[in-house]
Structure 1
């Protein structure tokens, strides 16, 4: 079977830049999978995807003009339904064969094979392979239908001459061209009212020719680059931008580097067809404004790359990725400098105006800002966060820390009412820190205000000082306790109040800052701050937080069994969890571990089935059998050793001490009847098992390690 390489391109108006990479990967990926599913592309076929502002394309190697014929075995019906008592075909069987293009002559060749409890009839046939035109049409339709389009546009296309008029088309952007080449041959497919050809269009302004005619599928990228002035590959265009950014920064000198922002890089790659990086600058006086403001306005509004010096401080230079490459770029440079200046002037104006009022003067205004219709205003929320922060700080540092935490918590949301945060909501907290410094409140308070949203995402840094940790913890607890208290819980992939992220933030602060706080008590202590606005959902919230902790630990490499064993006991100090996990891992490596874990599971089941409450007490006078006496003697030796190691914080040694119990435990279950007829003996043996169970499960529930 001969094969040729295939090229499919959909030429459209400018695609949404933030979605371009995903659109390009999806278009090429679905097209490729469909070709393979139909047998037109083999397992060794190679896919290359292309995506530029005005095109989505895919190049596939080794595509056949027609797929190979395929032997197919189709189940028809049970033998009892298809054949009568004499073995003759029933009307039902003949009708089914007719639907498959066969007649009564095929009955003799039908196969019988078991199908569950009955025997069924199977019809073997050869299914002709699909030809490329039909197969590619199906693949193209599927690729377009499955595009992750953020928002669909509706536009009109003029219909064929024999059917005058207009027809509506729905797509992400109006499509103007379709290319489908199998080698040098055009594949006559259609899409979005377009017929496939061998010509596309290049750069809007710099293409050498228009249209750009493609000699064959393999000439696509090179021809577009040469005649169309377009780098069609998203990855190649992105790499070229990275190279040019680094070269431009080196040209500026002084150890300068462009700001590192992968999302911005992807977006700019999606905005240009042939990138040209230019160096621009703005007046140094704007550097008096916090650099976060300037960086944000340059990135968000203009898609510029600010330049940082060797110390990470913003310079007055920035890089522009232009879509044109004139011989004299001065006009482009001046134009971009002229555009950015008003943006920076606005930021300076907001900063200057905001500093005319102390941060504290804005706190009362939070009473007019609605937070949630069931939880009140931001002012009420601020009071709750302050109350929770004071309680936490009192435990961690007494009155002095409580006063600082209270002040920082009261001011933490005040910057929401500043002009700067009104223009750039992403700067909330950051601006509060700047304004706190301006008001002379000191670095501890300023850092706490700036950091109280942290950690904002996975891997984000934690607050820098203990005041910030307390306020951040209180802020997240207020959100979690409040939302759970009104029943506003995450469902599926919907989590509008980022409760999962808040829960992980609480976990990270408790663990990484080694805070001596017990989780259940911490959650309950936050409830009174809400008065009668919520119900107490601390138990459900605790389960939610342990679930987040469990997922986080598994992502870090801990086994599900180890995590379940540790978290089954709901350890209250989350900072101890890592040490417990290490101890469980060391215990699981012991040769005695599997037997002890199985025995522990058995003991747990026995105690669950016991009538009434079982007390972990043993009356030695009632120990009759040698095996139960031996187990009791072992417990009297091992338990003090394990407990002493536990109290000393050596959890690994505490668990490993239990290895000495394997032989007496095995002997006990081999030689002792727990459910003795004598009630006193039975109760005493259950007490012995309860003592064993308590000793074995102080660090973790070892029964969870049993296979």
Structure 2
């Protein structure tokens, strides 16, 4: 049994670029896992994954040519079935025959277990898999389980009179298979291909084709030297980054390529040996908003626009070419010629759009369906306006500006530019608002009302923007919940989870004075009289409130708060979400007190008693009905502690409010040790329940402390 390094390569036609990294990693991991499962590879072996537009490959260190034999014990049947008076039954003889043994093998069988569970076992040695067997299985399993975005069906050349008789399914047609153990070919097959030791280099610049691989360890070197290919995905990615920085430095004046990891990964998946070239376009196109130019260069041409040191777009851009001619002028001129019509289109759209004001586009929104149950975009705008005005008034913001921004926020959806580039909605709205001479606060709000678009995104920059952004998200949430269009599992077509998190962030960071319940009421009111189903929205609003608190709970747990702490605070559904962090910190401090667990347990007990009460319990106590010393002591302690806790709560000092409760431990313990709450006298029982209600309210202002009980 010997070990050598193993190379496996599948050579194919151009793979989908956005899936290449994932395919390369899955191919490598699949082969490794398959070999490990069959005992041909030790855990922790060095693995190198390769992926280019035309190949998936993996190099694995120290792969055995044969797995070790291993002893196995096979259960045959119960003793009562296999032996009768010590003589093998026909059933046992038949079982042994199926294993290639005769009745003489009965003496080799072992008996294990007792009574009815006693069974016959056959001990044998299972031969370890050969590398050919193991790699064949690993290769088949890996190809079957690859995360292929879309499968192609193609025909094989079979060599018979009618080529293409057989068909194969894979992400792209495969044309070569390499399997080298050291310098020896491992005879395996896949996708109609037989393994060998030859591959192909760069489509245009390879020095030799095909390339005969001399050893598994020389794969990357031979591809680089003879095939003009950088096979390692991350090495090629780094080469692109280095060349982009070098090209930007050569341009000078602090120029930097636009940073876009997704674009970088996609371009890396389109080339086998990158060559970065500097191109330019006519400066007159810089009159168009740079977001438009950047987007068209990135999305349509896969170019890297160059930004000046001040962040402004320059008229130069970088191209990652897959060829490296001695004279690159033809390649540069070709790319400049290709980008020019794209930029001209963007300029045309911008010029045409500015001929009409945003306000003049409002009638068009009445023709755009938002949702078949919620009406048109025009109707939606009116709802957002109503919500935005109420929020602006609550924030002390200019309600007229909030109303105007909400009215015009969606008008850029019917412009030519946004029709071509939907990603620019909001951005173009701001440019056109400035062109119309609208106030900066309104223009900013038009752009910002989509924010935050994703986790970590910036929030609206001004209060008017906050009002409109909150209104827009709340209208979506209330409307979708109102018609029962809720997210399920991983499906959330209207991004309701993201909208809820956006509302939470703005209420915490930008509008701490606003109460969630009041906002939902305002949003609900905007639908009344406009949607037939609006009368059913009340229950939906309650469900929406729970949905938002669930998103908040998840966010808080991600920030490091325990589930118990979060549960205790959010059980009360505090209306001002900006207070939640302070409440959590107060709960965390309270939980460290020696009295905390006893008080939490008592609080839970109080809650259970009050739930079982026959009627609604009022938080009131008649001092003359207090009989036991323990209940008098508890009442006296509450008279002293409750005002302290309430005062601290009112000034927002939640930590001190909870700490004040520590003085209640002894009287609470004594009460439950000596006082019978469910007294036979109805008046006495009602008074003691009222005392417990007072205790519960005093203890649960900051958080539901019963949730802290272990």
Structures share fold, TM-score greater than 0.5: yes
Q: Given the two structures, how large is their TM-score scaled by the length of structure 1? A: 0.95
Q: Give 1:396 shift.
A: 1.8
**Residue equivalent to 1:648:** 651
Please tell me whether residue 310 in structure 1 is matched to residue 313 in structure 2. no
Contact 1:375 1:533 in 2 (8 A): no
Contact 2:109 2:120 in 1 (8 A): no
Distance in 2 (alpha carbons) for counterparts of 1:512 and 1:113:
68
Q: Give 1:190 shift.
A: 0.7
Q: Give 1:663 shift.
A: 2.3
Q: Give 1:334 shift.
A: 1.4
- 1:165/1:352 Cα in 2 relative to 1: closer, same or farther (>3 Å)? closer
Please tell me whether residue 555 in structure 1 is matched to residue 564 in structure 2. no
**Residue equivalent to 1:464:** 461
User: What SS is found at the alignment partner of 1:166?
Assistant: coil
Q: Give 1:431 shift.
A: 0.3
Please tell me whether residue 582 in structure 1 is matched to residue 579 in structure 2. no
Q: Give 1:614 shift.
A: 2.0
Q: 1:619 aligns with which of 613, 619, 622?
A: 622
Contact 2:82 2:91 in 1 (8 A): no
Please tell me whether residue 526 in structure 1 is matched to residue 523 in structure 2. yes
Q: Give 1:100 shift.
A: 5.6
Distance in 2 (alpha carbons) for counterparts of 1:403 and 1:85:
98
Which segment drifts farther, 686-695 or 332-341?
Answer: 686-695
**What CA deviation, in whole Å up to 9, does each residue of 1:661-702 have, x standing for no partner?**
222222323333333344333333322222222111111111
Please tell me whether residue 473 in structure 1 is matched to residue 470 in structure 2. yes
Contact 2:109 2:121 in 1 (8 A): no
Distance in 2 (alpha carbons) for counterparts of 1:451 and 1:114:
76
Distance in 1 (alpha carbons) for counterparts of 2:293 and 2:650:
54
User: What SS is found at the alignment partner of 2:169?
Assistant: strand
**Residue equivalent to 2:258:** 259
Distance in 2 (alpha carbons) for counterparts of 1:222 and 1:303:
29
Distance in 1 (alpha carbons) for counterparts of 2:411 and 2:678:
67
Contact 1:616 1:688 in 2 (8 A): yes
Distance in 1 (alpha carbons) for counterparts of 2:589 and 2:351:
60
Distance in 1 (alpha carbons) for counterparts of 2:525 and 2:96:
74
Please tell me whether residue 565 in structure 1 is matched to residue 556 in structure 2. no
**Residue equivalent to 1:425:** 422
**Residue equivalent to 1:36:** 36
Q: Give 1:443 shift.
A: 0.8
Contact 2:248 2:257 in 1 (8 A): yes
Contact 1:111 1:123 in 2 (8 A): no
5 Å matches for 1:383-462? 383-397=382-396, 401-462=398-459
Q: Give 1:162 shift.
A: 10
User: What SS is found at the alignment partner of 2:638?
Assistant: helix
- 1:93/1:479 Cα in 2 relative to 1: closer, same or farther (>3 Å)? farther
Distance in 1 (alpha carbons) for counterparts of 2:314 and 2:253:
10
Q: Given the two structures, how large is their TM-score scaled by the length of structure 2? A: 0.95
Contact 1:520 1:538 in 2 (8 A): no
- 1:165/1:341 Cα in 2 relative to 1: closer, same or farther (>3 Å)? closer
- 1:113/1:688 Cα in 2 relative to 1: closer, same or farther (>3 Å)? farther
**Residue equivalent to 1:661:** 664
**Residue equivalent to 2:198:** 199
C-alpha root-mean-square deviation of aligned residues, in Å?
A: 2.2
**What CA deviation, in whole Å up to 9, does each residue of 1:200-234 have, x standing for no partner?**
10001111100111111111111111111111111
Contact 1:28 1:58 in 2 (8 A): yes
**Residue equivalent to 1:483:** 480
> What is the aligned residue count?
703
- 1:28/1:606 Cα in 2 relative to 1: closer, same or farther (>3 Å)? same
5 Å matches for 1:532-543? 532-534=531-533, 535-536=536-537, 537-543=540-546
- 1:616/1:45 Cα in 2 relative to 1: closer, same or farther (>3 Å)? same
Contact 2:7 2:181 in 1 (8 A): yes
Q: Give 1:370 shift.
A: 1.5
User: What SS is found at the alignment partner of 1:630?
Assistant: helix
5 Å matches for 1:585-604? 585-604=588-607
The unaligned stretches of length 5 or more in structure 2 are none
**What CA deviation, in whole Å up to 9, does each residue of 1:418-443 have, x standing for no partner?**
11111111101100100000000021
**What CA deviation, in whole Å up to 9, does each residue of 1:502-523 have, x standing for no partner?**
1111111111113322222322
Please tell me whether residue 508 in structure 1 is matched to residue 511 in structure 2. no
5 Å matches for 1:56-71? 56-71=56-71
- 1:163/1:328 Cα in 2 relative to 1: closer, same or farther (>3 Å)? closer
Which segment drifts farther, 43-52 or 665-674?
Answer: 665-674
Distance in 1 (alpha carbons) for counterparts of 2:620 and 2:98:
78
Contact 2:4 2:61 in 1 (8 A): yes
5 Å matches for 1:26-175? 26-74=26-74, 82=81, 105-106=105-106, 109-113=109-113, 123-159=122-158, 166-175=165-174
**What CA deviation, in whole Å up to 9, does each residue of 1:93-119 have, x standing for no partner?**
66666666666635863343489x966
Contact 1:41 1:63 in 2 (8 A): yes
User: What SS is found at the alignment partner of 1:277?
Assistant: strand
**Residue equivalent to 1:237:** 236
Distance in 2 (alpha carbons) for counterparts of 1:340 and 1:487:
46
Q: Give 1:90 shift.
A: 6.1
Q: Give 1:566 shift.
A: 0.9
Q: Give 1:527 shift.
A: 2.1
**Residue equivalent to 1:361:** 360
**What CA deviation, in whole Å up to 9, does each residue of 1:588-623 have, x standing for no partner?**
122222222222222222222232222222233333
Q: Give 1:283 shift.
A: 1.4
- 1:620/1:375 Cα in 2 relative to 1: closer, same or farther (>3 Å)? same
Contact 2:156 2:168 in 1 (8 A): yes
5 Å matches for 1:289-368? 289-368=288-367
Distance in 2 (alpha carbons) for counterparts of 1:389 and 1:77:
77
Q: Give 1:152 shift.
A: 1.2
Distance in 2 (alpha carbons) for counterparts of 1:107 and 1:30:
43
Q: Give 1:69 shift.
A: 2.2
**Residue equivalent to 1:10:** 10
